[in-house]
């Protein structure tokens, strides 16, 4: 193999892996969060070197925002979702036949 083919394979492989990660995060957010948390916890274990612990600490997922006004609607405080748009009925119009 020529060096060009090796570099081409590395770039294409990186693009495929990046798009797979992006698709998993967009389509499976809870699962990707669990996977990210598992990897971060294994890297930040006390038995790991300091560099890996630092990477594990940076990989920890950010906690989801909660509280009134977050739009979760899971509590009984009555805050509900963020102000929803008012309903407007659909109006169908015939096309002019010219």
What does the CA dihedral 30, 33, 38, 41 come to, rounded to 10 degrees? -140
pLDDT at residue 63, rounded to an integer: 74
pLDDT (average), residues 70-86: 58
CA distance 43 to 60: 10
Cβ atoms of 81 and 73 closer than 8 Å: yes
Q: Is the pLDDT of residue 1 over 70?
A: yes
Binned at pLDDT 50, 70 and 90, residue 81 comes out as: low
pLDDT at residue 78, rounded to an integer: 58
| Mean pLDDT estimate for the chain | 84
For 85, the token pair is: 């748009």
Which one is predicted more confidently, 16 or 88?
16
């Amino acid at each position: 193999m020529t060096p060009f083919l090796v570099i081409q394979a590395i770039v294409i492989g990186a693009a495929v892996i990046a798009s797979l990660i992006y698709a998993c995060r967009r389509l499976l957010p809870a699962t990707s969060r669990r996977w990210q948390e598992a990897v971060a916890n294994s890297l930040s274990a006390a038995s790991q070197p300091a560099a890996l612990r630092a990477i594990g600490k940076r990989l920890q997922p950010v906690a989801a925002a909660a509280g009134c006004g977050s739009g979760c609607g899971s509590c009984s405080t009555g805050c509900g979702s963020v102000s929803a748009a008012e309903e407007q009925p659909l109006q169908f119009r015939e096309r002019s036949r010219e």
